[in-house]
Structure formats: structure tokens, C-alpha cells
Structure 1
Amino acid sequence: MELRQLEYFVAVAEEANFTRAAERVYISQSGVSAQIRQLEHELGAVLLDRSGRRCTVTAAGAAALRHARDALASVNALRQAVDDVNGLIRGRIVVGMVTACTVAPLFDALASFHTAHPGVEITLFEDSSDRLVESVRTGMADMALVGTGSAPPKGVETLPIISDRLVAVVSNDHPLAGRPRTFLADIAAFPLVCLPTGTGVRAVFDQACSAVGIEPTITLQASAPGAITDLAARGLGVAILSESMAATRHDGVTVLPVDDILSPALLTLIWKTGKNPALRELVRHSHAAFESSPEPTQHVHVEDDRDVTHVA
């Protein structure tokens, strides 16, 4: 008994026609007939009734059909298991990350994955969070480190990395500089310097203002947190950044907590569940790397707002 005989038998049983079955398995009709007759001879029973216009299974054929399908399914599972292993020996994994963000545990995960599976090519690229999310959704990227200002993206798996509150950054001679903390109503009384619409921190800030009915005056925008801080240091407005972005102190500014911005920002690793065995392994290495990191926030160096996302 051969697997191809079972395949041909299942094809004829499902198509109820030798010609269509032959087209399905890509051999001649005579070849299908010959192999099924050989199978029937070996089993000692007629499996197919060929007397009518439609070919139907006999009682013996019906009994054999389920087992034939199970056998073929088992063979396919075996092939998939081997393909999974081969996929880890030779393959490619594409990882995206927000621009100018250094996260040591992610790099640790990539390093340990490369050590375990040196035959898998790793491609790493930078982009904005919205484009990275779309890349993962469409399969252009396997995994990405992203941030948004709303709930985590739908249609992907997520691993939150770091929660980060928003702060106000002002020049040392600003009227707010002498306060230990501030509120949205206080900072909204001044011109504001913010990151662009669509970035994580900006979305969190806009949502917080909307929740209390405040319409802030945003006079300047820049996509680099360092530029935002420099503009605030020169007295051009109150800068809105995440706490980690403002962690690199500037001699000319004061950093103030904003007590009524309750939603933090969150840096998140995302991926889409699929059949890629290399991705499954990288996810496992990523979990291990971040879980073994005692203080994840100490490993995160953020230079771009697209590094964060709002807690769901």
C-alpha cells in the first residue's frame, strides 16, 4: 500500500469522477485507475462502484475512506513538523522598531535567537509606529516595537514593555518652573511645543485635554524630543514629552509632572500569530529576555515619541 494510492482513492471518492480526480492529482486517468485497482487488490475489497455515471464508494470504500484521510492528514502533519525545523535552519525574520529607540532586552532577544538559529537571517529596520503596525498586520514585518496613543493595535499579539507618564518641560525662568508639579489648565495657559499628531505622546496629551474640555494652543511642533526640549529651553513654549524622553537633563529646563494626565505611555512589542516557526522562536526569546530584565525602564533609551503607546 502506497500513500499515492490513498491520495488517488480519496480524490476519486470526493470528486465522484475519475477524470476530475486525475486532474486534481495531476496524473492520467488510467494511472489513477491502475493505482486504485492495485489498492483494492491488496485490501481484497472493491472500494469504488464504477457502474453508474457517478463513481460512488462501496460499503468497504466508506469504511476505508476515513482511515485514508487520517493517514494523509498524519503525513501532512509530519511534513509540517519537518518544515518547521527546516524553517528554523534556513529562513528570514523581519523586525521593525521605532526610530532612534534603543531597548537592550530586544537586542538581547535577537542575539540569543541568532545564537540558537544562526541560519535564520535577521533584518532590522526603523520606521514610525503607525507604519510598523501596518507592516506587521500585512506580513511585511514579523515583529515590531511600537507605540500608539490609544489602546494596543487590534489584530496583533502584544507584549507591553514600559509604562511612561507624560511631563511638562519648561525653561528655568518660566513662570511654572518654581512649582513642584502642574496641571493641564496651568500649561494650557501658555504656548505649547509638542510632537506631531499621530505620535504616541501627542495622542495621550490630546486625549487628556479633550477629557477635561481644554483646547491647548500648540504653536510649535517637532518630531525629535531633543528639539522639543531645546525649544522649551529657549522660552518658546511649554514642551510635552514622556518622562523617559525628558530623563536626559538639559541645563536650561525644569521637568514638571502633570498631575491630571492619568494615562501613561507604553512601549509595546507586537507580532501577528502565524505559521512562521522562526517568529514563534523569536517571541519565546523575547519573552525570556524581557522577563529576565530586572528593571526594563533602565534599558530603554528613547529619542523619538513613536517609542511609546497608551495603556489600554
Structure 2
Amino acid sequence: MDSQQLLTFIAVAESGSFSAASARLHLTQPAISKRIAALEQNVGEQLFDRVGKQIQLSQAGKVLLPHARTIAQNLQAAERALADLTGTVGGTLSIATSHHIGLHRLPPVLSDFSREHPDVVLDLHFLDSEKAMQAVLQGEFDLGVITLPDTLPRQIDSAPIWHDDLCFAVAENHPLAGRRVQLASLTEFQAILPDSSTYTTQRVQQLFDRSRLPLKIHMVTNHLDTIKMMVSIGLGWGVLPRQMLDPDLREVFTQVKPMHRELGAVTHRDRSLSNAGRIFLQLLKSHSQHQRR
């Protein structure tokens, strides 16, 4: 099987359409179709079921996809290893990060890195931390910069970078604004939080569960900047990083131990980092140390 055909197959499978794969690989749509047809001829199976304008992986496609990904990852690893022998810092560095970290923590790191290493193509993807973790675990990205979970998969190495203090926040005119109250007082008002599968909401849920209190989640969004906006106009209370507080928001003080989360980098133990990846990780750590001074 031709490696370019396999890479095209992966792109179509992940993007869900030939046109999206065409844009992703910077190829014409006929070229994409030609590669897929050639691969199907080579394997002797139809890899996609085409229903109208929709395409889905066939049973053969589902069987081939994980093997194709492994082959692509091994090829990339070989290319990185050979390039790294020369000490060059180039190629593509793929990073998965959450929207909050990508907007509020990473910009100075990305700016410095791209300025110092212009030959590296930064392939940045915004995902929820939980999805980014799984993507790194499956070898889809070189590294992730995410909210670190309490328990890491055994195949994952982590490097804590930022300590993120969390607080209960409300609008400046909210009845609880600036007050010191019992945790139970929050149950009288609606909460605006990320999805229950996120690390942040799991921490909040555990806090309420320990106090045997109901957690009334009124609205759900995984974007902290959206939560900040909705809280600031009085739609409910939220849990936000303390650094996001501004004149439109007020903290609610409770008797419980302050919450926090660790933000950091995750990599796969069985996947060696390129020179670019190692330098980026070092730069992350140096920015963190500078901020703590």
C-alpha cells in the first residue's frame, strides 16, 4: 500500500468528506478520489459507503483505519528521528489544547517559539482537554497542553506548567456578590458550568457531593469565556479561574477549601518528541518559571 494513499484515506475518514480532505491536504478533489480508488483496488475492498452526499467508513474501512494511523505515525516518527540526527529544528509540531489555555496561556509561548524557530510549522488544534488527552493517547498529536486530570493513563507523561486557582463567580449585582456564605447558599441559584465530563465540573460536583448538596446546572458550555459572559450578565453563578475576574464579576467566598486545577503538557511515553517538540516543552516550562517570580 502506498503511504500517500493511506494518508489520504485517514484524512477522508477523519474529516468525513472528500472536499474537507481536499482542503486539509491541499489537493484537488479529483486527486483525493483517485487515491482512494487506487487504495480500494489495492486492498480489494470498498473502504467507504457512499449514501447520497454522505460517506461513512465501510466495515473494511473501520478495520483498516487503526492500522493506517499506526503506519502514518511510524513514518512520521522515522522522519523526525532522521531529521533530529542533524540537530535541525523544523518539520511540523502538532499540538492539541483547550480554548481557555490557547487564548489565555499559550499566546506568548507560541509567539516566542514561532519567532525563534520559523522553520517549524505549528499545527494547533482546539479541543476540550478530555478529547485532547485521548487524541494524544491515540498518537494523533505530538503533545497536548490541557487541564491535567487527577489520574493519568499509564502511557501518558505529564509536566505541570500552571497552577490555576478557581473561584465561585457571580455578576457584580448578584445577591451573593462579595459575600462569605455557606456552600448551600449557592444551591438557591442556577449554575453555569462546563459539561459534566470535564475535569473542572467533576471537581465542582465532588465538592457538592461531599457536602451532600444538589448541584443545579442551568446551562452548559465548555468555553470558559462564554461562561464568563453569561455569569457577568446575571444568568447564574459559575466557577472560573481567578485570573479571569474583572470589574463585571465578583467572587463568592465559601467555607470550603479553595479549588484549583493544574494546567500542563501531556505526551505519549512511547512516542519520541522531535527537536521542535522538546524545545517547545522547555519553552513552556521557562515561561511558567518566569511567571512565578
2:190 is equivalent to residue 194 of structure 1: no
Aligned position for 1:106: 109
Q: Distance in 2 between matches of 1:143 and 1:289?
A: 12
2:251 is equivalent to residue 255 of structure 1: yes
2:163 is equivalent to residue 163 of structure 1: yes
Aligned position for 2:95: 95
Deviation of the 1:128 alpha carbon = 1.6
Deviation of the 1:133 alpha carbon = 0.9
Deviation of the 1:81 alpha carbon = 7.8
Deviation of the 1:259 alpha carbon = 4.3
Match of 2:281 among 281, 286, 292: 286
Deviation of the 1:139 alpha carbon = 1.0
- The residue identity in structure 1 corresponding to 2:256 is D
Change (3 A) 1:259 1:104: farther
Residues 125-164 of structure 1: pairs in structure 2 closer than 5 A: 125-164=125-164
Change (3 A) 1:215 1:153: farther
Residues 176-255 of structure 1: pairs in structure 2 closer than 5 A: 176-179=176-179, 181-244=180-243, 246-247=244-245, 249-251=246-248, 253-255=249-251
Aligned position for 1:24: none
Count the aligned residue pairs. 211
Q: Distance in 2 between matches of 1:234 and 1:257?
A: 20
Aligned position for 2:268: 272
Q: Distance in 1 between matches of 2:278 and 2:89?
A: 17
Change (3 A) 1:228 1:90: closer
- The residue identity in structure 2 corresponding to 1:233 is S
2:255 is equivalent to residue 296 of structure 1: no
- The residue identity in structure 2 corresponding to 1:134 is Q
Higher relative CO (Cα under 8 Å, sequence separation at least 6) belongs to: 1
- The residue identity in structure 2 corresponding to 1:114 is H
Structure 2: runs of 5+ lacking an equivalent: 1-79
Deviation of the 1:223 alpha carbon = 2.9
Structure 1: runs of 5+ lacking an equivalent: 1-79, 299-312
Whether the aligned pair in 1 keeps the contact of 2:145 and 2:266 (CA below 8 Å) is yes
TM-score scaled by length of structure 2: 0.60
TM-score scaled by length of structure 1: 0.57
- The residue identity in structure 2 corresponding to 1:290 is K
- The residue identity in structure 1 corresponding to 2:291 is P
Deviations 1:11-67 (A, max 9, x none): xxxxxxxxxxxxxxxxxxxxxxxxxxxxxxxxxxxxxxxxxxxxxxxxxxxxxxxxx
Deviation of the 1:269 alpha carbon = 0.8
Change (3 A) 1:82 1:201: closer
- The residue identity in structure 2 corresponding to 1:199 is T
* 2:228 aligned counterpart, secondary structure: helix
Q: Distance in 1 between matches of 2:89 and 2:279?
A: 17
Deviations 1:177-213 (A, max 9, x none): 241x444222123222222222232121112112222
Whether the aligned pair in 2 keeps the contact of 1:183 and 1:258 (CA below 8 Å) is yes
- The residue identity in structure 2 corresponding to 1:268 is G
* 1:214 aligned counterpart, secondary structure: coil
Whether the aligned pair in 1 keeps the contact of 2:169 and 2:240 (CA below 8 Å) is yes
Deviation of the 1:270 alpha carbon = 0.8
- The residue identity in structure 1 corresponding to 2:123 is T
Whether the aligned pair in 1 keeps the contact of 2:130 and 2:199 (CA below 8 Å) is no
Larger radius of gyration: 1
Q: Distance in 2 between matches of 1:121 and 1:229?
A: 32
Whether the aligned pair in 1 keeps the contact of 2:90 and 2:276 (CA below 8 Å) is no
Deviates more, 1:289-298 or 1:127-136: 289-298
